């Protein structure tokens, strides 16, 4: 997969996916330059705990820098590091938060991604891999979602900013020949997850005997995708830029005019919300108290990934079962919070 000595920049390295990818790359012998502003959107102590683990590797260097306001320093460090690939995983996440604080998404998603595109152009990066989201499929109802589908009906401002990032990246790929792969992640979960995500909130509340909020009265499903599977898929993409030869089947996910590709990164096994809650109940040994609510603005009832292009390109795709993934998360949660 990864040759020893590979040099990689990861933005959002203190974040959920960024941490897991950084750790997996370091364990493979790669050298990682991690960049993160340590925003206070959620518990900074959790982010610092992730960074502490990464700093135990001699080939990890961490920079606390803001991709919106400190790009001169980022450019200087990146030029000196001379990476072979950049993973842009830093972003303002959260569908519901984007309803209350949309300006944070404009800055931390659109402006920051523009700055990273400029960074990639200036240092002539061989491959820029950028995080997108299944939320860009918006109001689409044709399941499973595949990359060729039109994505013109985003339902949240978060999704709209990520779709904007895809459009900007395609333009840069076309104008400057910048090789870009956009990865649309489907409900990533697992150990060291974000406190604002359903698995974290459900587990915490069930253990503490607090009712959990169940939207759309439980009539929802998600293509839950285990974080280590996501990190493994990202690693495999490093040397597979849209400029390289790829299986003919994956041509459908590439732009006809630019070195640009879109890939779904999902488990392709959607799970009902009530079944997901049941898996948590089984693992913690406590029945959940549920407060059933209507659908939230900006949310969608279902997601389901067609990840065949990812498999055709890399020979691998996410496959960890929800039961196994939830077990790993609950074990981590109990250990980290000593409950």
Could you give the residue numbers annotated as active site? 158
Measured in whole angstroms, the distance separating CA 300 from the mean position of its chain's CA atoms is 18
Q: 268 in the Ramachandran plot: left (φ > 0), alpha (ψ -120 to 50) or beta?
A: left
**Closest Cα partner for 119 from 86, 168, 149?**
86
User: How many other β-carbons are positioned within 10 Å of the β-carbon of residue 302?
Assistant: 17
- Give every CB contact of residue 241 below 8 A, 6+ residues apart in sequence: 126, 127, 179, 181, 259
User: How many other β-carbons are positioned within 10 Å of the β-carbon of residue 109?
Assistant: 23
Between CA 213 and CA 225 the distance in angstroms is 21
**Closest Cα partner for 19 from 64, 58, 49, 45?**
49
Between CA 264 and CA 158 the distance in angstroms is 18
Q: Which helix (H) or strand (E) holds 27?
A: helix 16-27
Angle, CA 268 vertex, CA 276 and CA 211 arms, to 5°: 15
Between CA 80 and CA 87 the distance in angstroms is 17
Taking a C-beta distance cutoff of 8 angstroms, is the pair 92, 15 a contact?
Answer: no
Between CA 175 and CA 336 the distance in angstroms is 47
């Amino acid at each position: 997969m990864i040759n020893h000595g590979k040099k990689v920049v990861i933005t959002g390295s203190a974040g959920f996916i960024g941490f897991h990818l950084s750790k997996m790359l370091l364990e493979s012998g790669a050298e990682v330059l991690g960049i993160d502003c340590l925003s206070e959107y959620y518990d900074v102590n959790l982010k610092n705990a992730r960074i502490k683990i990464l700093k135990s590797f001699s080939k990890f260097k961490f920079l606390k820098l803001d991709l919106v306001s400190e790009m001169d320093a980022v450019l200087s460090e990146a030029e000196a590091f001379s990476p072979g690939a950049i993973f842009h995983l830093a972003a303002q996440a959260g569908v519901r938060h984007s309803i209350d604080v949309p300006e944070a998404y404009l800055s931390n998603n659109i402006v920051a991604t523009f700055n990273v595109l400029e960074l990639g152009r200036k240092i002539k990066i061989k491959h820029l891999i950028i995080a997108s989201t299944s939320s860009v499929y918006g109001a689409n109802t044709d399941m499973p979602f595949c990359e060729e589908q039109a994505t013109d009906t985003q339902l949240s401002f978060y999704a709209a900013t990520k779709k904007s990032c895809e459009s900007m990246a395609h333009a840069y790929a076309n104008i400057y020949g910048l090789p870009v792969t956009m990865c649309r992640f489907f409900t990533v979960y697992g150990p060291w997850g974000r406190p604002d995500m359903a698995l974290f909130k459900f587990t915490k509340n069930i253990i503490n005997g607090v009712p959990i909020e169940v939207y759309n009265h439980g009539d929802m499903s998600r293509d839950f995708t285990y974080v280590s599977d996501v990190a493994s898929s990202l690693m495999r993409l490093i040397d597979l830029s849209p400029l390289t030869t790829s299986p003919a089947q994956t041509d459908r996910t590439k732009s006809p005019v630019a070195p640009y590709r879109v890939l779904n990164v999902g488990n392709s096994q959607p799970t009902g919300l009530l079944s997901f809650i049941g898996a948590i109940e089984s693992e913690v040994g406590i029945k959940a108290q549920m407060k059933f609510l209507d659908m939230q603005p900006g949310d969608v009832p279902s997601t389901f990934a067609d990840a065949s292009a990812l498999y055709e390109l890399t020979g691998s795709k996410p496959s960890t079962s929800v039961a196994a993934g939830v077990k790993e998360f609950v074990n981590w949660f109990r250990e980290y919070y000593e409950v």
